[in-house]
Structure 1
Amino acid sequence: MDQVAVKTLQWLPESGRPEQLLLLLHGVGANAADMVPLAEMLRREFPQAAILAFDGFEPFDGDPSGLGRQWFSLAGITEENRAARLAPALQPLADTVHAAQQATGLGQQATALIGFSQGAIMSLALAQFEDGIAGRVLAFAGRYATLPLVAPKMTTLHFFHGGADPVIDVQHAKDAMQRLAELQADATIDIAEGAGHEINGVLFNQAIFRLRNHIPYRSWMAAMGHAQAQAQTQASGRVDGDRED
């Protein structure tokens, strides 16, 4: 896939520099404008965040008006060819994310990819394609194209799914969590029983909770390593201090 000119909607802080970068990826047949309600809710919760919503790279197969967009075509898609179908969009999406980071002056660990449906599929795939391109992925009503063989080390994965989703069955999210647990990934899952293929209030509130309260495993490990190093240094100092010359 050649480099694509992507239509972008953005919401920036009213004053001061942005502290977080939240990138929104829509579902198949939608476009960046369909993410406006989610962007407005996120803006109320994180007023110092830079929030960007992108159009999918291709016109939606089923929309002759050209307004609907997609990240990859669903025509003739199967479980066997799904990963290959989306693969050409990964480098252009990575380039788009890097451009947003450069424009806002925010790094990878301050970046969150927030995808719905096909946008969630792309977000999860991108975290595998380039580990650490974002500190977090929030996957609403999404799935892996194929379950990963290796877990990302620098990205935390949050799954949010409706228990009655008729489009992408919640079992895909459960299977992903089982695989990620086996791979010792940093991942969470929240399921809203009775909810369909949507971002409802329960799932949105859980997403905010995760963003505010979940401390990435890598941060815990770094803190523990620092504390252990300090303890060893202090212990060494006590031994040296007690030594007779």
Structure 2
Amino acid sequence: MPHASDSRPAPLCILPTHAAPAQLFVLLHGEAAEPGQLFDLVAAIRAAFPQAVIIQPYGPFGDGPGRRWIAQAAPDAAAYVGLVADAAAALAADVRAWQRQHGLGGEQTALVGFSEGAAVALEAVCSISALAGRALLFATRFAALPEVAPPAGTLHLLHGAADRVAPVEQARQVHARLAELQGDVTLDIASNVGHDLHAALIRQAIIRLQTCVPLRSWEDALGAPDLRVDEYSATDLSASRLSPGSKTLH
């Protein structure tokens, strides 16, 4: 199996300017890409959460700008599952190190991924206890349906209805599976959006982070689940929906 490239660049890191860190966001780019793919999303997170540490690692495999999170390009379905699990374990070790470095825990941590990066983020948050309190998962082809739901984590699936690379039905299946497992999960689908970090989905991701009460809090208060699935046209997800103030991830 190929090893991680020795030429892997150091992660990009943005630190709070005027305050101690309050949140940690780890953003994972898609396959054959690099952190610049996520700069619009980074800008939105930074505006909403000015006290956040934002880290953008490069995928460990590949040379040049097109990097991958898994050790094999274009694997078959069976191999893909194991490769994503390996990548998630490696990511978790890095996330734990960044948490220690900045004095933050899992509740203050969000994993954010696009495409292949989202597959790795999903595997990490579901398989590794208390790694992150939130996960934002954009437009991905998931490796496999989750076997367990994170007991203390909230997952937000964000997808384009017109995505031909990672069909939206896969996101529906993951949402349904996590609901069966009594996980805390939301699904937002934007019509006329393809395999893209569309501005509408970015805006909706920030809304979810700022306003979505974790399911465990609803259960504590009301004794009933809140299974959230929303479908919009991309124009419906307008900037006017944004909450004016930032909140913590939990």
For the pair 1:9 / 2:12, whether they are aligned, the reply is yes
Matched residue SS, 1:69? coil
Matched residue SS, 2:117? helix
Aligned counterpart, 1:29: 32
Q: Which runs of 5+ in 2 are unaligned?
A: 224-250
Distance in 2 between residues matched to 1:171 and 1:107, nearest whole Å? 33
Matched residue SS, 1:99? helix
Distance in 2 between residues matched to 1:129 and 1:57, nearest whole Å? 20
For the pair 1:87 / 2:85, whether they are aligned, the reply is yes
Aligned counterpart, 1:171: 169
* Percentage of pairs with the same residue: 41
Return the TM-score normalized by structure 1: 0.83
Aligned counterpart, 2:59: 56
Higher helix share: 1
Q: Which runs of 5+ in 1 are unaligned?
A: 60-64, 226-245
Matches within 5 A, 1:96-175: 96-175=94-173
Distance in 2 between residues matched to 1:88 and 1:3, nearest whole Å? 15
Matched residue SS, 2:159? strand
Larger CA deviation: 33-42 vs 168-177 = 33-42
Aligned counterpart, 1:19: 22
Return the TM-score normalized by structure 2: 0.82
Structure with greater contact order relative to length (CA < 8 Å, sep ≥ 6): 2
Aligned counterpart, 1:240: none
> How big is the shift at 1:143?
3.8
Which entry has the higher C-alpha Rg, 1 or 2?
Answer: 1
What is the aligned-residue RMSD (CA, Å)? Answer: 2.1
> How big is the shift at 1:50?
1.0
> How big is the shift at 1:222?
4.7
> How big is the shift at 1:47?
1.1
Look up the equivalent residue of 2:216 and give its one-letter code: R
Matched residue SS, 1:58? coil
Distance in 2 between residues matched to 1:168 and 1:175, nearest whole Å? 12
Look up the equivalent residue of 1:192 and give its one-letter code: A
> How big is the shift at 1:102?
1.1
